[in-house]
Chain A
Amino acid sequence: MTADNPVETQPAAEGVSHELEVEASHAPSGTSPWALAWRRLKRNKVSLAFGVLFILLVLSALAAPLWAEHVAETTPSRNNVSGTIIKDGQEVDIVSLEGVPIGPTWGRKYFLGADQNGRDVMVRLLYGARNSLQIGILAALITMTLAVILGMAAGYFRGWTDAIISRAFDVMWAFPVLLLGVALGVALAVGGLNIGPLHFESGSLWIPTFIIGVVGVVYLARPIRGQVLSLREKEFVEAARAQGAGNLRIMFGELLPNIASTLLVFFPLIVANAIMLEAALSFLGAGVQPPAPSWGTMISSGLSSLISAPHQTFAPGLMLVLTVLSLNIFGEGVRDALDPRAKIKLEN
């Protein structure tokens, strides 16, 4: 379809740069904005380093079964209240008679200590990382997909479509986010969730994922709507329409690539927010349901014994802060790279 398209922008742009090359051999060859952005991002060592840190965190989460099976030789949910372990040549209880779990051994087993049920904190931390990261990334994808569809539809079709979608946004905007998330989380945690043919059990990770994904839509959809409202008046849209392109083709073929950089800037920040919201919901008992581990559930269960066994709170807390921090710093780097003169857009 694109090959026999006479007014396709890409070949035309290349044609121009080739002509320039003929005229002045020193002129740089055509560089796409993406390549320029990548070049700027590569120069920003700090944000690149935090991007790498995030990838390492993801890899360590993926390696959770390896650590559990070959190093710690346990599972994230295996209790061991009455067991003992050799520490500094002495045999000590994993959970003392007073119910205080052992602290970090820095050895193969109980590397980061145990929790009240005698479970290995390191193993739970890695499996918790899987759940927290999975929820964060998938929820961000849900947010992004819904926001793109709704925001583009509202901005592109205007009229009644826009009126309905925008009023719905107004309502969502007024809804206290945290209260909505908690209300949905608790209600769904009891009964499970049915969306058409899909059924999610009450303990399913998809429930918090779905809630977190939906709750954030309005914050991204509004800026997208604003951008599409102005983009749809541009000449390239008119050109596409003159060629007989349909609405869907214009929206996804012409407009979507133009808002791609906005989406790319927002994505790491949305993932960071989703991970934070998961932790907050789990802390209030409305997110991941125990015994499944996540950083939020680990922190909230660790807080009850902060005094006697602080490692239970500090380990997941530190992981959570590091993950969100790395996403935030990397996200800022991406924003600076894509739009060096970026201003913080407050609304629309």
Chain B
Amino acid sequence: MAFEPILTRNVRKPGSETIDIYMEAGGYQGLRRALKEFTPEKLVEEVKASGLRGRGGAGFSTGMKWGFLPKTKDKPRYLCVNADESEPGTFKDRLLIEKDPHLVLEGIILSAYAIESSLAFFYIRGEFHQGCRTFEKAVQEAYAKGYLGRNILGSGFNLDIIIYRGAGAYICGEETALLESLEGKRGYPRIKPPFPAIVGLYGCPTIINNVETLANVTLIAERGAAWFASIGRPPKNTGPKLFCLSGHVKRPGVFEAPLGVPFLELLNEYAGGMKHPERPLKAAVPGGSSMKILPAAKCDVLMDFDSLAAAGTSLGSAGGFVMDTGTCIVRALHNVARFYAHESCGQCTPCREGTGWLVKILTRLERGDGRPEDVDLLAGIAGKIEGNTVCPFGEAIAWPVESYVRVFKDEFEEHARRKACPMRAAAAR
């Protein structure tokens, strides 16, 4: 572990959320330098050169996303911060918001400068009470020090921030649903195109970035694109990354490592290995609950966008979870499916109707009322959802169902054949 944590460099310091502690460690120097040395265009180039990819789940190049803004400036541009972290097993943004809000805030100011926006919205998950209070305080501190408001650090650049709390819907983390919610409407994802960079919040060009992505922008401004690009697995998977690991591990938590760290290293060294030594790894979902599952035998993967894609899953929001051999996969999938059925916004047909159907079948299977045809039916329903929905939520339910059923088909078939959950039966004996 030669890697020096940098995103999390402050989080263990007492009072890390205050501007004084943040500035003691060199905070806001990157902003000071960027406002003096960089034009907005140059800053966009710098972020492009760093190879930074969005940390929210899709892994799209941040600089390229910014480049999609229209060249004309007849409308205001907005920066929206996606702090609606709600994927089960993902809790990395929360750490930054609660423990180092100024790292995020500096990134917001830099990014707003880069895209020439003078109004940013911070859309924070409603349940993040403490994070919201902390961030509000950080914003006040930044105003007091002149990092927000009019003519920031004498540069002529103005920025205001509006903090908006969500009301507890997972779907509002989808960027266009977030925009709808921010506009005061029901959180329904929009049809794309047009993309938010062209028609976003209130019909104006809008960039939506994840909290961790923006924290990384601070680092790029502070230490330069070349430094950033040297971390991880260049050229396409660069920079430090926060990884969440939960489930049957000894020390669940958020761990910082360069992109491309081996999953087994995360599991065994960062998270302290399996929780119960007598129950080895059965399967893991490295990217988060909406990603595809990997059986133990395929868990020797590198944790970056492209390696995981090659392994048939995705990095997602890096909210990995680990299951040991005591886990019933059917029950695990039932749990995941219940979440997605509950959170489906109900806008489009396949997801609205399909998620509930999947749960009903899984409930039966787990209860001991399974039928042999259920196994193929689960995959069939997932297949009818995937790719046919308004937003990626369809994939978020279809991928786990498809992969759990494919990888652990025997277990599903056994549930149907035995008309019982074998794990439960074993536990009862």
To the question of whether A and B form a pair in one complex, the answer is no
- Chain A residues with CB under 8 Å of chain B are none
Chain B interface (Cβ within 8 Å of chain A)? none
